[in-house]
């Protein structure tokens, strides 16, 4: 039953570009990119209770790294580019994770918020490298002899990477690290009492979360094709937090659902122009009020299980 559903889902993912209008292929790519960020953020917030309002900053680091690598060495295979983006962003995550250890709740949120602003400022000021406010055009990604130039080609790239990232996240819970993170989520004191090194695992969670977001950033660069500091404003970070709250904290399928839901919602509200933030905010508050455990909990509830 579970396998059949999984196979069906994969087939649907693969058939999507052929079955849907062209624009939805692009939108689906964007949803998958956001889903990877949401999973990364959820590993941090859902598992270790560290809420981050700075993930747009990580996304920017990953996106600019991938874009600069591809601009400088156009023949770099996409897998290598994404790995470099993941590594650089992961190191930045580690760097932010250490000072954030002493912070909790509101103070942590403020520190991460500041991090997001710092990244945007850095992009503006390093204009010899990033072209600052003028923005950076991203050349097409390359996979061996092919340049991924169409929306469909980019979609398959994003989906392939997305599947790997989801698989890794689902399996993380079975590893020693995953168990430790889950233990921290349930109770920090209990976890520490059972021998989980709190500081080490909380920092590690930051790094893993950053790696996810860095990979997503690399994909983001290729899907959108143009980067500028305006792309990574604080509202984007808030959107990611909204995704995991709507989707369900601590749930991988919930992250995916939340990301897809909010990406599509954000897109369909574009036509409401100046009313967009108002409608978006109202929907968010309503879903918090009536669906506190997010989509993941609501789904389980419908299936007759206890939330």
Partner 1 sequence: MRYHQAWVVALGALLAAAPAAAEPGVTDTEILIGGSNSFSGPLAFTGEQITKGGVELYLRVVNDAGGIHGRKVRTLWYDDAYRPQDAVANTKKLVEQDKVFAIIIPQGSPPVVATLDYLEEQKVPLLFPYQSSPVTRGKRWIFQGMTVSDRSSKMMIDYLAGRRKFKKFAALYQDDEYGKSFLTAFEKDLGRHGLKLGAAESVKRGVTDVSAQVAKLQATKPDVTFLVLVPGPAAQALKERQKIGWSDTLMVSTGPLTDERYLALAGEAAEGVEGLSLWPDPATSDRPGVKLYREHMQKYAPRNEPNRYSMAGYFAGMLFAEAAKRAGTNLTRESLIAALEGIKGWESGILPPLTIGPDHETQKQGFWVRVEKGRFKPVTDWLKGE
The binding site for partner 1 (CB under 8 A) comprises 21-23, 26-27, 30, 124-125, 127, 132-135, 137, 220, 224-228, 230-231, 233, 235-236, 266-267, 269-274, 276-277
CB nearer partner 1, residue 47 or residue 240: 240
Cβ at position 214, least distance to partner 1 in Å: 17
Strand partners, 141: 148
Which ranges in 77-150 belong to alpha helices (H)? 78-100, 105-125, 127-130
Least Cβ distance, residue 30 to partner 1 (angstroms): 7
Torsion over CA: 168, 117, 268, 224 (sign): negative
Closest alpha carbon to 30 in 209, 269, 281, 262: 262
The least distance separating partner 1 from the CB of residue 51, rounded to whole angstroms, comes to: 23
- Identify the three-state secondary structure at position 226: strand
Residue 159, CA atoms < 13 Å, CB-side half-sphere: 19
Which whole-number Å values give the CA distances from 287 to 18, 53, 229, 243, 300, in the listed order? 33, 20, 30, 11, 16
Residue 232 CB, shortest distance to partner 1, in Å, is: 9
Nearer to partner 1, 76 or 228 (CB): 228
Helices (H) and strands (E) in the chain, counts: 14, 4
Nearest distance from C-beta of residue 179 to partner 1, angstroms: 37
Number of Cβ within 10 Å of residue 279's Cβ equals: 13
- Tell me whether residue 50 or residue 130 sits nearer to partner 1 (CB atom): 130
**CB-nearer residue toward partner 1: 212 or 220:** 220
We find the least distance from the C-beta atom of residue 267 to partner 1, in angstroms, to be: 6
Choose between 61 and 204: whose C-beta lies nearer to partner 1.
Answer: 61
d(CA 16, CA 208): 30
Q: Residue 126 or 164: which CB sits closer to partner 1?
A: 126
């Amino acid at each position: 039953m579970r396998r059949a559903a999984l196979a069906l889902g994969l087939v649907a993912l693969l058939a999507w570009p052929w079955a849907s209008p062209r624009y939805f292929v692009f939108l689906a790519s964007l949803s998958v990119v956001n889903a990877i960020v949401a999973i990364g953020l959820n590993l941090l917030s859902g598992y270790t209770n560290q809420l981050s309002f700075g993930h747009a900053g990580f996304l920017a680091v990953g996106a600019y790294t991938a874009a600069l690598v591809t601009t400088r060495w156009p023949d770099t295979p996409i897998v290598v580019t994404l790995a470099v983006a993941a590594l650089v962003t992961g190191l930045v995550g580690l760097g932010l994770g250490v000072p954030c250890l002493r912070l909790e709740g509101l103070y942590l949120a403020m520190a991460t918020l500041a991090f997001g602003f710092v990244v945007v400022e850095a992009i503006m000021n390093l204009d010899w490298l990033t072209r600052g406010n003028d923005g950076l055009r991203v050349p097409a990604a390359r996979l061996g002899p092919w340049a991924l130039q169409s929306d469909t080609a980019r979609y398959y790239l994003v989906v392939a990477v997305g599947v790997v990232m989801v698989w890794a996240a689902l399996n993380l819970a079975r590893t020693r690290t995953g168990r430790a993170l889950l233990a921290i989520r349930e109770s920090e004191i209990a976890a520490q009492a059972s021998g989980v090194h709190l500081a080490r695992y909380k920092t590690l969670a930051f790094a893993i979360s950053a790696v996810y977001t860095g990979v997503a950033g690399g994909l983001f660069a290729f899907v959108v094709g143009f980067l500028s500091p305006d792309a990574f404003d604080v509202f984007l970070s808030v959107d990611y937090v909204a995704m995991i709250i709507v989707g369900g904290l601590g749930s991988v399928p919930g992250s995916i659902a939340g990301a897809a839901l909010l990406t599509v919602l954000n897109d369909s509200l574009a036509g409401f122009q100046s009313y967009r933030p108002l409608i978006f905010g109202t929907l968010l508050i309503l879903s918090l009020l009536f669906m506190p455990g997010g989509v993941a909990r609501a789904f389980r509830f419908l299936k007759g299980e206890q939330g």
